[in-house]
Structure 1
């Protein structure tokens, strides 16, 4: 970030973590398949200073079923992406978004299974 030398702290742009277009494409592809299967019905996106969160809901008024988080500060430790369940348990964490989302794709296979 390049700032003029005389910029005050109030003139500096706020830094936020956000999902990139390619990341959102991967997430929304999975979301669309889960909506088609009748598992998910709504989502919300929030961008904060240290984390970007894509929350998935079964119904709008409920707590999220899953949260897909992007935390760049964890890039060299546990991985930048995580899928977190309703109770706050980490279901999968890693550096590759597609690999992390596979934990949710398994649930899609069960939802469509015709046993």
Structure 2
């Protein structure tokens, strides 16, 4: 029997192999392909509450949710197949600066931005109406 440091082993040819470190598979997978940004349950509840109200008023008729690598987007439409009337975006990289949440108009103008989604969604309380 040969003496070798604890934690090392020799293969069949006698070469030393140093111990390997344990890697968390979730962290490893995220480094290869990061998970997309998503809306949390309470955020989605707040958005869908506004969406339901606007559908009831006849202003909105369709929506789409996109989970991208850098942001999550909830787009609302007057008619399917058109450009979105508004986009409600969540961009975590802006959380420490202007706020992670924003409401963006069709032309790209940011109507409201902030840290609290419910406050940002109040922009729709001012009865924003889409111009046909």
Q: Do the structures match in fold with TM over 0.5?
A: yes
Name the residue aligned to 1:92.
112
1:3 and 1:12 in contact (8 A); partners too: no
Report the CA distance shift for 1:10/1:96 in structure 2 as closer, same or farther (over 3 A): closer
| RMSD after superposition | 2.3
Name the residue aligned to 2:38.
18
Mapped to 1, the partners of 2:122 and 2:73 lie a distance apart of: 17
Moved segments of 4+, more than 4 Å: 9-13
Q: Which runs of 5+ in 1 are unaligned?
A: none
1:30 and 1:105 in contact (8 A); partners too: no
Name the residue aligned to 1:3.
24
| 1:104 counterpart = 2:124 | yes
Q: Which has the higher contact order (CA 8 A, sep 6+)?
A: 1
Mapped to 1, the partners of 2:30 and 2:51 lie a distance apart of: 38
Q: Which runs of 5+ in 2 are unaligned?
A: 1-22
| TM-score normalised by length of structure 2 | 0.73
